Amino acid sequence: QQKVQQSPESLIVPEGGMASLNCTSSDRNVDYFWWYRQHSGKSPKMLMSIFSNGEKEEGRFTVHLNKASLHTSLHIRDSQPSDSALYLCAASSGSWQLIFGSGTQLTVMP
């Protein structure tokens, strides 16, 4: 069973709009979350990490974490066509491995 669930599977937003992506872990041992972005034909690149309850903002990107519900969300404001990519959520429960969700495919329409 998938331990990291992402929604929606795909998302289309207009240029300049807000994109909101969700991720939940079913493993109560998870403590740390990352968001990675993967453009078509490229390797994943770390976008943001969050380890504490609350919110973290970097430019147009904001992540939220609720440790009680093991839910994190990524919000992209003023979305640009260059933001079109596969967004991957990853979680760690203290082992060597990161568990990845199946991703949200974001398309920003000009």
Partner 1 sequence: VTLLEQNPRWRLVPRGQAVNLRCILKNSQYPWMSWYQQDLQKQLQWLFTLRSPGDKEVKSLPGADYLATRVTDTELRLQVANMSQGRTLYCTCSAVGGDQNTLYFGAGTRLSVL
Residues that bind partner 1 (CB under 8 A): 31-32, 34, 38, 42-46, 49, 51, 86, 88, 90, 92, 94-100, 102-103
Query: Least CB distance from residue 66 to partner 1, whole Å?
Result: 19
Of 16 and 52, which has the nearer Cβ to partner 1? 52
Query: Least CB distance from residue 46 to partner 1, whole Å?
Result: 6
- How far is Cα 90 from Cα 8, in angstroms, rounded to an integer? 15
Kindly give, in sequence order, each residue whose CB lies less than 8 Å from that of residue 79, ignoring residues fewer than 6 positions away. Answer: 13, 14, 15, 16, 17, 18, 19, 60, 106, 108
Distance, C-alpha 88 to centroid of its chain: 5
Of 51 and 80, which has the nearer Cβ to partner 1? 51
